[in-house]
Chain A
């Protein structure tokens, strides 16, 4: 097992990794930008190294600084968390060259899944259902014939995009060439690669994702699904496990296909295979995230497994000691992402937290990087905390979440707590009756 790990991240996920390391007796090194000098990960890590000024590009995305910090603190492995360099295959290779273990999958798997179009093609080959789509569209005029094969409406998507970025919906063949050209320019600017492809557009989808764990010896398991349908502009707000739309048969069927596909690509460590679900409960592969996800706690609550510890153990060469393809899911868990934002306009709200009181009680977990007197800096994402509730069933989980939201005090900045309270009280949400457009009902004038 590792003696010392460097955490190449910040905020709540850095603290989460420190939690796992502390419990495993592994010493930790936190790297931090000047904006995070007084953060909780810096406080609770065994050692801390300042790696740059606040800007991400100069600090948390600065590979040379991170590797240099790893060298001077003599760590054996680096955990990249999520975001930042966690899905950067080149960084994984640099770690390898520097004789450091990257806690995550191999660079080849990251490259494959990082190209959204290639990933789609590969997963289709391996038997996963995928949305009808095109290959890379080079010339805008190739658009209309390709769209006819797929069936309008279609989505124009950037091959190197992800996380909801670089996508547009096109309803008619006439709009298509111009939409493709614009998307190509945007893709080039945002992701460095102009490649775009077309995909069938599902008007009222739900978002279902499967968690996988794979060791270095070919053993792969899935940990069931999470539903992440409640989103605003493709950013997840509420996640839960299991999904009201996935029965045991569907879980077993898709879970098995996912496990087999992961074996074929030789995947290792943690990952999430994302699907869209249409009105008829058909699942279509969307993309794969080759890292730990923000919403991993809901899976931890229903399976009783510590996913971060498993990531570390797998990277250290330990085999997965689970019989069969999966584990039982117990009860129901929901997560609400509490962000620093105006609850009406949803504009980010930076500033200092003057009071923070966290709820506790049965079945409630809080993952956070904020503390009283902390400042939510403008340089990074606006996530303050993740509130997670677990219950024997979905009703109890919702009741616990509503209660926990009432007892969560965050003063000094605006937060999305009121929106989450509305969601938990909403009859459609409570009935499991929603799609990705659900949040429009709370936006002003129906516009998000």
Chain B
């Protein structure tokens, strides 16, 4: 509970609880808010949802929930040009055994080979090892990003034209079972 000191001034020391944060996130998703930022009581939250390609928008939401302890804990600044710097995909993925393809470089993500072309992949597509999933452009060079596993595209985390950083999640694939993917 917020405490008031004897001087009558309200202290902003009410620490956020996890269930409060979850409730906030659920509310934002329910109302389909795409971008939200709040700084209060020692916690800064910035939530930016990428376009959901399939069903569960909760999973597509990239949330940057920052540490509850205020003060010297460093809070990574959200890159306003790039999407939220969440290095891990939503927890849902780990329980579903999805394989996340992360960007190996900094650049701009393109879902197709040219503006008028159809996207390389969409959710539900079955892809093979080495199949081109997208292009990341950096310094005028178009880098083709290939799939590291064979499987089905379960989620796409980024939007066409979006800046991406090293290690940013791009795709979640549901690996095909019993498929040999080569020696290494």
Of the candidate stretches A69-77, A161-169, A263-271, A296-304, the one touching chain B is A69-77
8 contacts between A and B (CB under 8 A): A47-B77, A49-B166, A50-B166, A64-B105, A65-B138, A65-B166, A68-B105, A71-B139
Top 10 A-B pairs ranked by shortest CB distance?
A72-B163, A68-B138, A43-B74, A68-B106, A50-B165, A47-B79, A48-B77, A38-B74, A49-B165, A50-B166
Give Cα A64–Cα B72 distance, bound, in whole angstroms: 32
Residues of chain B lying within 8 A (CB to CB) of residue A39 = 74
A251: interface (CB < 8 Å): no
Q: In the complex, what residue of chain B is closest to A47 when comparing beta carbons?
A: B79
Of the candidate stretches B2-10, B80-88, B89-97, B115-123, the one touching chain A is B80-88
**Interface pair A73/B76, CB less than 8 Å apart:** no
Which A residues are closer than 8 A to B by beta carbons? 29-30, 34, 37-40, 42-53, 59, 64-65, 67-69, 71-74, 98, 371-373
B33: interface (CB < 8 Å): no
User: Nearest Cβ distance between residue A414 and chain B, in whole angstroms?
Assistant: 21
Partner of A64, one of B79, B87, B139: B139
Residues of chain A lying within 8 A (CB to CB) of residue B105 = 64-65, 68
**Interface pair B72/A373, CB less than 8 Å apart:** yes
A43, A52, A68: which has the most chain B beta carbons within 10 Å? A68
**Interface pair A72/B107, CB less than 8 Å apart:** yes
**Interface pair B107/A48, CB less than 8 Å apart:** no
Residues of chain A lying within 8 A (CB to CB) of residue B74 = 38-40, 42-43, 371
User: Nearest Cβ distance between residue A75 and chain B, in whole angstroms?
Assistant: 10
Majority secondary structure of chain B interface residues (helix, strand, loop or mixed): loop
Q: In the complex, what residue of chain A is closest to B109 when comparing beta carbons?
A: A72
Residues of chain B lying within 8 A (CB to CB) of residue A68 = 105-107, 138-139
User: Nearest Cβ distance between residue A90 and chain B, in whole angstroms?
Assistant: 14
B68: interface (CB < 8 Å): no
Q: In the complex, what residue of chain B is closest to A28 when comparing beta carbons?
A: B77
B152: interface (CB < 8 Å): no
B75: interface (CB < 8 Å): yes
Number of interface residues of B (CB under 8 A): 25
User: Nearest Cβ distance between residue B80 and chain A, in whole angstroms?
Assistant: 6
B108: interface (CB < 8 Å): yes
Give Cα A352–Cα B154 distance, bound, in whole angstroms: 39
User: Nearest Cβ distance between residue A426 and chain B, in whole angstroms?
Assistant: 35
**Interface pair B85/A50, CB less than 8 Å apart:** yes
Residues of chain B lying within 8 A (CB to CB) of residue A53 = 166
Give Cα A72–Cα B75 distance, bound, in whole angstroms: 21
Give Cα A373–Cα B79 distance, bound, in whole angstroms: 24
Q: Take A67-B139, A72-B82, A72-B107 as given contacts and tell me if A46 and B77 are in contact as well, using a CB distance cutoff of 8 Å.
A: yes
**Interface pair B167/A50, CB less than 8 Å apart:** yes
**Interface pair B77/A45, CB less than 8 Å apart:** yes
Would you list which residues of chain B between 122 and 172 have a CB under 8 Å from chain A? Answer: 138-139, 163-168
Q: Take A47-B80, A49-B82, A73-B81 as given contacts and tell me if A373 and B107 are in contact as well, using a CB distance cutoff of 8 Å.
A: no
**Interface pair B81/A42, CB less than 8 Å apart:** no
Residues of chain A lying within 8 A (CB to CB) of residue B108 = 71-72
Q: In the complex, what residue of chain A is closest to B167 when comparing beta carbons?
A: A50
Give Cα A134–Cα B34 distance, bound, in whole angstroms: 68
Give Cα A358–Cα B112 distance, bound, in whole angstroms: 53
Q: Take A50-B168, A71-B139, A373-B72 as given contacts and tell me if A30 and B106 are in contact as well, using a CB distance cutoff of 8 Å.
A: no
Residues of chain A lying within 8 A (CB to CB) of residue B85 = 48, 50
User: Nearest Cβ distance between residue B129 and chain A, in whole angstroms?
Assistant: 22
**Interface pair B106/A65, CB less than 8 Å apart:** yes
Give Cα A50–Cα B169 distance, bound, in whole angstroms: 12
Give Cα A310–Cα B113 distance, bound, in whole angstroms: 45
Partner of B106, one of A40, A43, A44, A49: A49
Residues of chain A lying within 8 A (CB to CB) of residue B138 = 64-65, 67-68, 71
User: Nearest Cβ distance between residue B140 and chain A, in whole angstroms?
Assistant: 9
Residues of chain B lying within 8 A (CB to CB) of residue A64 = 105, 138-139
Give Cα A440–Cα B139 distance, bound, in whole angstroms: 50
Give Cα A30–Cα B74 distance, bound, in whole angstroms: 13
Residues of chain B lying within 8 A (CB to CB) of residue A72 = 81-82, 106-108, 163-164
**Interface pair B77/A69, CB less than 8 Å apart:** no
Residues of chain B lying within 8 A (CB to CB) of residue A30 = 77
Give Cα A73–Cα B82 distance, bound, in whole angstroms: 8
